[in-house]
């Protein structure tokens, strides 16, 4: 279907119709876009027509029951999306700075539940006027375009920017609930054959996560032929620790994440001389638009102090 004839334009386009364009392009449906924008379908249609008139070309191919982007529409959408993200982020930051003080944090679920959340009460007691928002996700965050103030990540040094703050490194160690040892001691690595071994799921047995597995640990300590009573696999670190706390077996755990349970005695490190260094570390990465805000500075200072306590608890300088 041929598009309408357009008179050439040279002035910059207005921004009023861009929201409608993005919604229609995302849904490829005028009705769904109108419902999202709380406008009538005819109003959205008029906005798209006005935008096409401003640009000077058709942005959509309109079929009987479907809509698709033209090449020009796809080009405009590619340029528009990051611009809208930056605009929305700026507005959220402006609104936030004009209202209550808050800090938005992105991290992954296991770190949030096992390390960060148990400590947050201390920060909130010191700073009762600062709200905390935690987004627990493995998804990468663009600190230039989102309203996240800082991210806490688990990765190798080569994967973080130069300004990232090193919180602590990592060692893996076998841990177990003390009551599981009442009927059967675990004094030598060979005794592991009498227990269920808990570890990361089999999808993580290949590079680059192989060091999280019992097989890697057993290979390092020349126990390749050891077979446990049974295997128990989980997808997340907090599930592995929870299973160990419940007495379901011996877990190969990340020291920084179980340090509190070891201090409390809820878990026992059964082979302390057989820790295994990990190439991973825990990092704080601060957003460029947030570092000047006093509430973010206060949270980062508190966070690094907590990290120092964790390093002391697990007996490492880094």
Show which of 73, 94, 115 is a domain's final residue: 94
Same structural domain for residues 87 and 108?
A: no
| Average pLDDT of span 168-191 | 93
Residue 240 lies in a domain: yes
- As for how many domains the chain has, the answer is 3
Same structural domain for residues 176 and 273?
A: yes
Show which of 61, 94, 127 is a domain's final residue: 94
We report the CATH number of the domain holding residue 139 as 3.40.190.10
Same structural domain for residues 79 and 145?
A: no
Least Cα distance to 148 among 238, 82, 85 occurs for: 85
Determine the structural domain holding residue 49 and report its residue range.
18-94
Same structural domain for residues 164 and 295?
A: yes
Instruction: Give the tokens for residue 165.
Output: 């703050």
Same structural domain for residues 196 and 259?
A: yes
Farthest-apart Cα atoms in the chain, separation:
87
Same structural domain for residues 86 and 106?
A: no
| Average pLDDT of span 273-279 | 92
> Cβ distance 89 to 147 under 8 Å?
yes
pLDDT for residue 1 = 45
We report the CATH number of the domain holding residue 81 as 1.10.10.10
pLDDT for residue 208 = 63
pLDDT, tens digit, for every residue of 73-84?
A: 999 999 988 888
- What is the pLDDT confidence band of residue 2, given thresholds at 50, 70 and 90? very low
Instruction: Give the tokens for residue 49.
Output: 């027509």
Q: Whole-number mean pLDDT of the chain?
A: 87
Show which of 94, 127, 147 is a domain's final residue: 94
* Residue 9 pLDDT > 90: no
> Cβ distance 246 to 116 under 8 Å?
no
Same structural domain for residues 135 and 198?
A: no
Residue 11 lies in a domain: no
Same structural domain for residues 185 and 255?
A: yes
pLDDT, tens digit, for every residue of 193-228?
A: 999 999 888 645 566 677 888 999 999 999 999 999
pLDDT, tens digit, for every residue of 87-107?
A: 877 777 666 666 678 899 999
Give the predicted TM-score (pTM) of the model: 0.69
pLDDT for residue 115 = 96
Same structural domain for residues 64 and 23?
A: yes
Same structural domain for residues 141 and 183?
A: no
Residue 1 lies in a domain: no
| Average pLDDT of span 159-176 | 93
Residue 299 lies in a domain: yes
Same structural domain for residues 181 and 257?
A: yes
> Any idea what the Cα angle at residue 191 is, between residues 189 and 196, rounded to 5°?
105
């Amino acid at each position: 279907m041929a598009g309408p004839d357009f008179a050439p334009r040279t002035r910059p386009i207005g921004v009023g119709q861009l929201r409608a364009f993005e919604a229609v392009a995302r849904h490829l449906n005028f009705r769904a876009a109108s419902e999202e924008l709380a406008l009538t379908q005819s109003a959205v249609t008029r906005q798209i027509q006005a935008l096409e008139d401003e640009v000077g070309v058709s942005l959509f191919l309109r079929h009987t029951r479907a809509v698709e982007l033209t090449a020009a529409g796809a080009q405009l959408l590619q340029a528009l999306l990051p611009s809208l993200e930056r605009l929305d982020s700026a507005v959220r930051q402006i609104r936030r700075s004009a209202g209550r003080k808050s800090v938005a944090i992105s991290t992954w679920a296991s770190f949030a539940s096992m390390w960060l959340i148990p400590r947050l009460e201390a920060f909130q007691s010191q700073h009762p006027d600062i709200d905390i928002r935690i987004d627990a996700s493995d998804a990468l965050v663009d600190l230039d375009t989102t309203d996240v103030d800082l991210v806490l990540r688990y990765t190798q040094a080569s994967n973080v920017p130069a300004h990232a703050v090193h919180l602590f490194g990592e060692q893996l160690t076998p841990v177990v609930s003390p009551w599981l040892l009442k009927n059967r001691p675990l004094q030598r690595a060979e005794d592991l054959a009498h227990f269920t071994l808990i570890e990361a799921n089999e999808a993580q047995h290949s590079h680059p996560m192989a060091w999280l597995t019992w097989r890697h640990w057993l290979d390092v300590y020349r126990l390749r032929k050891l077979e446990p009573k049974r295997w128990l696999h989980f997808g997340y670190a907090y599930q592995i620790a929870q299973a160990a706390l419940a007495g379901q077996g011996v877990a190969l755990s990340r020291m920084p994440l179980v340090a509190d349970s070891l201090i409390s005695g809820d878990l026992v490190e059964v082979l302390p001389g057989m820790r295994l260094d990990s190439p991973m570390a825990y990092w704080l990465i601060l957003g460029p638009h947030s570092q000047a805000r006093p509430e973010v500075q206060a949270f980062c200072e508190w966070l690094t102090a907590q990290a120092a306590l964790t390093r002391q608890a697990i007996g490492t300088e880094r």
